[in-house]
Amino acid sequence: MLSKIFSAETSTLKSPSDDLLESLTGPQSAAGKSVTPDTAMRVAAVYSCVRLLSETLAALPLNVYRKQSDGNREVATDHPLQMLLHDLPNEEMTSIDFRTQLMASLLLRGNAFSEVERDRAGRLRAAWPLNPDKMHVARSDRTNRLTFEYHDKGIQTIPASRMWRIAGLSTNGIIGLSPISQAREGIGLALALEEHGARLFSNGARPGGTLEVEGKLSDEAYDRLRTSWNNRHQGGANAHRTAILEEGTKWKQIGMSAEDAQFLETRKYQRSEIAAIFGVPPHMVGDLDKATFSNIEHQSIQFVVYSLLPWLKRIEQSIFRDLLSPVERQQYYAEHSVEGLLRGDAKARSEFYKNLFNVGALSINDLRRLENMNSIEGGDEHWLQLNTAPITVPRSGSGKTTTGENNA
């Protein structure tokens, strides 16, 4: 018997899942717009944030490492998980395709689920992504273990041993909160603003106005004048056409322009707000108001540290939990490589390399590998600068030491 169905909407224990139901019914925002993961992607800022985070993360190298007895590590090229994560997670998707989809699912729905396929020996063969909207997560009263019910052309029960799950920000540690659901009002307002702007410019970016004539028009003349005016001047293709007014007819514009109503400023604020929801620096989604040449590099580093790093850790630790056996966890782990994103400009990188080389932390070949260059013979030797000495040195002609004071 299953009970305690987890809700992705509130991250509490209740039944049924509000988030799953609302993804089907289309929850309405106060702005009157249906906000779902699919409709939210129509907002340029949402699409930009999801694309940036998912594609950047998917492009990072993800390797499985084997711990060595001397404390070093090596890439476990012979482990099935290395092929699954680094190259081909299944026969239909490449690694970058699979991980882009996985991250987009986390950003739009707060959760990512994949069914793991193993051979008879229990070795990993493939991972297949699942739609979180069709997943019901419950806990069995009998075993007290999580059970996964996938509702797609029937109900398929998937045991925890065959499930790779990743949760975003969560209040129960099992199901992540959907960023789209939590930020429904802000995204709904952005949708309403985009529709308003599209309608505004479809009418030639002209507010409403009146045609004034002397005297009174008959019903037939009134209808003919209105139809003729709309046919000639309404719509984007007719914008800015010259109007010819006859027999004393005058055009009087009414209402305020979009700029006067702070329409553009509101749209810009919504873009910054959506960037904040996803933890993306505004300049990365086209908001360059506060970006300068002096701080944009540091903002990019902050993007790695504060935006990407939490997601990287979630993915790495879920791999450790779901894709490695208890025995394998003693020796193997998965990790992303972010050095390329933190390299900075050439001058700063050169100074950083020089300092590490001078203290013997990196060899010539270590530096060449960081720059995607081939190793050279003899380049694995580590060197140490010897033009310094300890403060306490033996005093000349005696067995005593001095700390550098003047004894003259």
More confident residue, 265 or 187: 187
Q: Region 263-284: what's the mean pLDDT?
A: 82
Q: What is the DSSP string of 1-39?
A: -EE--B-TTTSSB-SS-HHHHHHHH-PBPTTS-B--HHH
Which of 102-106, 124-128, 164-168, 260-264 is least confident?
260-264
Which residues face 136 on adjacent strands? 149
pLDDT band at 150 (very low <50, low <70, confident <90, very high): very high
Q: Region 15-20: what's the mean pLDDT?
A: 42
The residue type found at 1 is M
Residue 143 exposed, middle or buried by CB count within 10 Å (0-12, 13-18, 19+): exposed
Q: Decide: helix, strand or coil at residue 129.
A: strand
- Pick the closest to residue 250 from 224, 229, 223, 232 (CA basis): 229
pLDDT band at 78 (very low <50, low <70, confident <90, very high): very high
Q: Region 83-91: what's the mean pLDDT?
A: 95
* pLDDT higher than threshold 50 for residue 306: yes
pLDDT of 245 reads: 52
pLDDT band at 368 (very low <50, low <70, confident <90, very high): confident
* pLDDT higher than threshold 60 for residue 238: no
* pLDDT higher than threshold 60 for residue 237: no
Mean pLDDT of the chain: 79
Chain-centroid distance of CA 262 in Å reads 29
pLDDT of 25 reads: 47
Residue 271 exposed, middle or buried by CB count within 10 Å (0-12, 13-18, 19+): buried
HSE, CB side, 13 Å, CA atoms: give it for residue 289.
Answer: 7
Report the range out of 68-82, 203-217, 257-271 with the highest average pLDDT.
68-82
Q: Decide: helix, strand or coil at residue 394.
A: strand
More confident residue, 363 or 343: 363
CA distance 36 to 110: 12
More confident residue, 294 or 4: 294
* pLDDT higher than threshold 70 for residue 337: yes
CA distance 173 to 176: 7
Kindly state the DSSP code that residue 93 receives in the 8-state scheme: B
pLDDT in tens, 378-399: 899 998 877 766 777 565 555 5
Cβ-defined contacts of 219-227 (< 8 Å, 24+): 225/249
More confident residue, 25 or 301: 301
Residue 171: count of CB within 10 angstroms of its CB: 11
pLDDT of 294 reads: 60
pLDDT of 67 reads: 92
pLDDT band at 72 (very low <50, low <70, confident <90, very high): confident
In angstroms, the Cα distances linking 229 to 113, 232, 247 are 56, 5, 15
Instruction: Name, in order, each residue with C-beta under 8 angstroms of 371's C-beta and a sequence gap of 6 or more.
Output: none
pLDDT of 383 reads: 87
Residue 124: count of CB within 10 angstroms of its CB: 20
Q: Region 171-191: what's the mean pLDDT?
A: 89
Placement of tokens 């702070």 in the chain: 262
Kindly state the DSSP code that residue 243 receives in the 8-state scheme: P
- Pick the closest to residue 363 from 386, 381, 349 (CA basis): 381
Instruction: Name, in order, each residue with C-beta under 8 angstroms of 137's C-beta and a sequence gap of 6 or more.
Output: 5, 6, 146, 147, 148, 149, 174, 175
- Pick the closest to residue 113 from 86, 85, 149, 59 (CA basis): 149
Which residues face 140 on adjacent strands? 2
More confident residue, 73 or 13: 73
Instruction: Name, in order, each residue with C-beta under 8 angstroms of 47's C-beta and a sequence gap of 6 or more.
Output: 41
pLDDT of 21 reads: 43
Q: Region 60-72: what's the mean pLDDT?
A: 89
pLDDT in tens, 121-132: 888 999 999 999
